[in-house]
Structure 1
Amino acid sequence: MNSKPRTRIAINPRGHPPEFEQAIREKSANFVGREFVFAAINEFLERENRGYFTLVGAPGSGKSAILAKYVAENPDVVYYNAQIESKNQVDQFLTTLCNQLINDYPLGYTSLPDNVTDGSWFLSLLLQKIGDELEPNQRLIVAIDALDAIDRRSQTPGSNLFYLPRYLPHRVYFLLSRRPFLREKYGLLIETPSQIFELDAFPKQNREDMQKYIDNNLKLLGQ
């Protein structure tokens, strides 16, 4: 791979499949606040040269909206939503994500290998190839919403959720969201920098942002 990663193109303006683009629009509509979450994400990206950042919160706490807003404002982020019908199994994840990567970056592939869903080998290869060609100020960020919706029966018992890579190359990050898990059901064994950000640990900021959301929607209704 001799050429540098280019601006994302292909399927639509951000390169996401249509059903993901629709989810991003719907979940980020009328979004307000949550600056403390975005600040934490950006701090992690600046502090670590790769890694997993996981946003954890109870149902209805706004995880999906936060992730969608981040993707909407950072168009180079690759997006996947496990809550969308038929997208909660590992085969669909690996096929969809790898297709996005080979469509969006000049990796020299025109199609996926037949055994693309046999673990994370091909995804890891693509991430390494992209990471090797990124400039020091560039990043590849993969956002995955709703890890708790994954059908664990679709993959080998004891393996990482969606066969997510145990190791990551430099300048490659995963931004995840999920409901609280019991530790024994966490589903990720990784050896790379990581941070778990729990929304429930910020009650004051959450209340303030909820009030902002209510006030904003009242204004819209009054127009």
Structure 2
Amino acid sequence: MNTSPRPPTPINSPSYPTEFQQVILEKSQNFVGCGFVFTAISNFLQRHDRGYFTIIGAPGSGKSAILAKYVTENPHLLYYNAQLPGKNRAEEFITTICTQIAQTSQETSLPSLLQQVSDKLEPQQKFIIAIDALDAVDSTDQTPGSNLFYLPRYLPRGVYFLLTRRPYVRKQSGLLIEAPSQILDLAEYPQKNHKDVESYIRQYVKIVLHAIKNRYEYFYSD
């Protein structure tokens, strides 16, 4: 990745809910490859002063692992996983994200909080909210025609959303946004994905062989 976004000064390092911490750790362990995705994200952040970046991939394509790895390398990002039990409704999302943004604030309007954050950002600072598995959102209780999770149609300067979701019909995206946006479909990079798989297998074999070697030396050290 070319550059990492600078953390916004008014926000402390987010304290992710325990279940999110577990997912991030599990998904990012032994992660290899996908440098082209991180480069694309970095380029998007450099080109635009706000926006939505979406990673699309079929189940098992590694999009959740990519997002988890990105979060571990940029720990000041806010993270939310809609695929976990009880986390796929807008009310839970708004409460969790607003709490992560400002734990001492009574403000519960996400657009208002994002504007407050934007107003305090330095010119080159970026505030990013990462949402995994947007396709898992249950919009039954939302206002008809509203964005999934009530995600903002407009974004203030310096605010970005990094999303992952399964393939979908573009006309039925569940999002109406008027901000810079980019979609990266992992299915369009089969050769790069194949190389990543090869790298993962090599790394896994190396780990296994190292573990066998250590066990052998332990038993026969005497």
Same fold (TM over 0.5): yes
Supply the AA of the counterpart residue of 1:46. Q
Q: Note the alpha carbon deviations across 1:79-137, whole angstroms, 9 max, x for none.
A: 0000111000111000000011012xxxxx4435xxx4xxxxx1000000001110112
Q: Distance in 2 between matches of 1:15 and 1:138?
A: 20
Of 172, 176, 188, the match for 1:185: 172
Q: Does 1:143 align with 2:130?
A: yes
Q: Does 1:5 align with 2:13?
A: no
Question: Could you tell me the percent identity over the aligned residues?
Answer: 56
Supply the AA of the counterpart residue of 1:5. T
2:77–2:130 contact (8 Å) kept in structure 1: yes
* Partner in structure 1 of residue 106 of structure 2: 111
Q: Normalising by the residue count of structure 2, what TM-score does the alignment of the two structures yield?
A: 0.88
Q: Distance in 2 between matches of 1:19 and 1:111?
A: 24
Supply the AA of the counterpart residue of 2:175. L
* Partner in structure 1 of residue 29 of structure 2: 29
Question: What's the CA shift for 1:63?
Answer: 0.4
> Per the alignment, in what secondary structure is the counterpart of residue 99 of structure 2?
helix
Supply the AA of the counterpart residue of 1:58. A
Q: Distance in 2 between matches of 1:21 and 1:111?
A: 25
Q: Distance in 1 between matches of 2:85 and 2:116?
A: 31
* Partner in structure 2 of residue 164 of structure 1: 151
Supply the AA of the counterpart residue of 2:191. K
1:160–1:189 contact (8 Å) kept in structure 2: yes
Q: Note the alpha carbon deviations across 1:27-77, whole angstroms, 9 max, x for none.
A: 101000100000000000000000000000111000000000000000110
More displaced 10-residue stretch of structure 1: 42-51 or 155-164: 155-164
Q: Distance in 1 between matches of 2:105 and 2:133?
A: 29
* Partner in structure 2 of residue 125 of structure 1: 112
RMSD: 1.3
Aligned positions, number: 203
* Structure 2: unaligned runs, 5 residues or longer: 1-7, 211-222
Question: What's the CA shift for 1:161?
Answer: 0.5
2:11–2:102 contact (8 Å) kept in structure 1: no
Supply the AA of the counterpart residue of 1:69. K
Equivalent runs, 1:15-94 vs 2, <5 Å: 15-94=15-94
Q: Does 1:221 align with 2:219?
A: no
